[in-house]
Amino acid sequence: MTASRTRRSFLKDTALFAAGAAAVIPPVQAAASAVSGDPAAGSSPDPSTDIRIGTLVQSSMNPPAYIKEVVQHGFESFQITFWKTIGDTDLKRLAGEVREALAGTDAVISSVAVYGNPLGGRPQDEDTLRSWVELLDTAHLFGCDIVAGFTGRVIDAPIDESIPRLKEVFEPLAQRAADRGLRIAFENCEMGGNWKTGGWNIAHNPAAWELIFDALPYDHIGLEWEPCHQLVQLIDPLPQLRKWAPKVFHLHGKDATVQWDVVRTYGIGGGRPFVHHRTAGFGDTNWTEIIAIMRQAGFKGSIDIEGWHDPVYKDDLEMTGQVHALNYLKQCRTVYVPNPSV
């Protein structure tokens, strides 16, 4: 969401990476690289915290109460997420309660998100689309400038056949976002789909990103990226990130462990699990290098830990795993030490 390998072994053993990777994309405008809802963005005395380390908060968790309790662990940002729909949530009221929960801390809301299929055309999909609109209209109340989620998909159609519907739905949403000074970030989860079929999301492969950004060629349309969803496709995430970093607006702190003994023995179609989602710090990826790549691209924003997937640090150990990830990612970010003044 067993033997793990070092990054060097991974590179040695996976010579076939993402075929047809995208051409280099022009850098996103500088204004789009700042976290406009972060009062400390661009003015922090500690440049290392231009990249914040936070966590996800599911809407079902009573976000104000949850944030107030866990912020004490040192989380610096929070993404508030909705599954499929915002339902009857009063977003204005929620935003006010969240601001109260954050009062007296330096933490911020990095983004708000809804994960459903706005392209599907079913009543539930129309509700997801409505949720996109309402989140775009209220994101500023949370103090953030990013609304994230799945692109959606024409159900069980190949990715390229979803592009006309994607353009039909997201062209007006892109305009709505631009009018409000917001960015849209597409999550890179395959949700069990592939190129030929699926029911949730098409933004899970570099070849698909090329089609998406050709259809929506705007600086404020980008990605919500994590290495996990690339590792499950046996794509090396780091070369990919170097190419696509200018289009990455938000990161999830989630990784994966590939069990190469299973791959070598049974392949990926042998009915045996060959990869596990892991909380950052427990998987195969070098996050020091991820942060270095993002810094080199001029990124300022958040890596928000996505828990609730790890096969080991779950249930009573959930927050144990998340706080380990928090401390690990802060270490990868490094501790700021001012240069001598002379």
- Cα→Cα distances 237→143, 201, 242, 245, Å: 30, 19, 9, 11
Q: Is residue 324 domain-resident?
A: yes
Question: Mean of the pLDDT values across residues 25-30?
Answer: 31
DSSP conformation class of 22: P
Residue with tokens 């702190």: 253
Q: Is residue 218 domain-resident?
A: yes
Q: Is residue 305 domain-resident?
A: yes
pLDDT bracket for residue 45 (50, 70, 90): low
Q: Is residue 298 domain-resident?
A: yes
Q: Give residue-wise pLDDT tens across range 204-221.
A: 999 999 999 999 999 999
Q: Is residue 341 domain-resident?
A: no
Secondary structure E strands in the chain: 51-58, 77-83, 108-115, 146-149, 183-187, 221-225, 248-258, 275-279, 301-305
Q: Give residue-wise pLDDT tens across range 233-277.
A: 999 999 999 999 999 999 999 999 999 999 999 999 999 999 999
Question: Mean of the pLDDT values across residues 29-35?
Answer: 34
Q: Give residue-wise pLDDT tens across range 107-116.
A: 999 999 999 9
Q: Is residue 41 domain-resident?
A: yes
306 has pLDDT over 80: yes
User: What confidence score (pLDDT) does residue 34 get?
Assistant: 36
Residue 224 β-bridge partners: 187, 250
Radius of gyration of the chain (CA): 19
CATH assignment at residue 212: 3.20.20.150
Q: What's the mean pLDDT when you consider all of the chain?
A: 89
Q: Is residue 2 domain-resident?
A: no
Q: Is residue 339 domain-resident?
A: no
Range of the domain at 165: 7-333
Question: Mean of the pLDDT values across residues 118-131?
Answer: 97
Q: Please say whether the beta carbons of 283 and 275 come within 8 A.
A: no
pLDDT bracket for residue 8 (50, 70, 90): very low
pLDDT bracket for residue 46 (50, 70, 90): confident
Within its chain, how far is the Cα of 220 from the centroid?
A: 15
Euclidean distance between CA atoms 23 and 51, whole angstroms: 26
Counting the structural domains of the chain, the total is 1
Q: Which of 325, 329, 255, 257 is nearest to 294 (CA)?
A: 329
